[in-house]
Amino acid sequence: QMMRGFYVRQQSYWPKSEMAATALPDAREREILEPLRGQIPDEVFTQVYRAPQTDGSGRIRDKQLQALRLLAEAGWTPRNNRLVNAAGEPLEFTFLDGQGGFDRMLLPYKRTLAQIGITLNLRRIDSAQYINLLNARDYDMIVTSFPRSGDPIVSPGRELYSLYGSQSATQVGSSNSMVLANPAVDRLIDGLVQANSRDEMVHYARALDRVLQWGQYMIPNYYSKGTPTVFQNRFGRPAIAPIYDEGLNTWWEVSPKALTTRQMSALRGTVEAH
């Protein structure tokens, strides 16, 4: 709604790829995951992860009631229009913004949380402060981009240790912004890195995707459907485009000047690449 349909809601850590866990685990994945039962969420075995959806109207009372039920189970109760714990401390956290431009998304989020007694503070700082706090892991919530968001790493490997490995959780300069230290995740990364075939690597990647999804370590954001591009209507393009690239080096000129849509339609399929 807020992005006017230009972006897709993130569902997987490997969107748009064969490594995304979009169905229940197959036999090989179950073999990989079964030794981890009890260490990973039970939903990994029985449910396909889907990020919560609304109708885009901003009226999400059903989701707020669900949140209140979960928070009550965790010991948070309402008092004077705020949620507090057993010690009377209010539920409050800060979003650290070192980039800017998120207000139009964060302010509705702040309002929605306030309606159920949660305080979200927005703190905007300069890039130097942001990097220092990021390296010190001194933040409650941030927005971060994974290197494969929308354009996945086709063959993931040892970089996953920096992204999700326990050793990198408090390591300065690592990409483990979730400060994730989970032995089950480490084991799945080990299996992926040591895989002897692509098929085995893909199965470990899907298993890892499931565990990360159901771990609820992040609020999935969005990625672009492609690369927004404006170009003159005078180029021929292959019928099948590259999946993760514009493929400009595969385009060819069909006219020295821009054509109308009708003129281009008349030429399409008759002009050979040169």
pLDDT of residue 152: 60
| Stated pTM of the model | 0.83
pLDDT attached to residue 109:
92
Which residues lie below 8 Å from residue 145, measured CB to CB, with a gap of 6+?
A: none
Q: Which domains does the chain have, with CATH numbers?
A: 7-224 (3.10.105.10), 235-267 (no CATH)
Chunked mean pLDDT (size 10), the chain, 274 residues? 81 88 96 97 96 86 95 96 96 92 89 96 94 93 72 80 94 91 97 96 96 94 79 88 82 91 79 46
Query: The tokens of 40 are what?
Result: 């990973």
Predicted pLDDT at 54: 86
CA distances from 191 to 33, 131, 185 (A): 11, 32, 10
pLDDT of residue 272: 46
DSSP secondary structure code for residue 264 in this structure: H
Residue 56 and residue 50: Cα distance in Å, rounded? 16
> What is the pLDDT, as a whole number, of residue 245?
77
In this prediction, residue 38 carries a pLDDT of 96
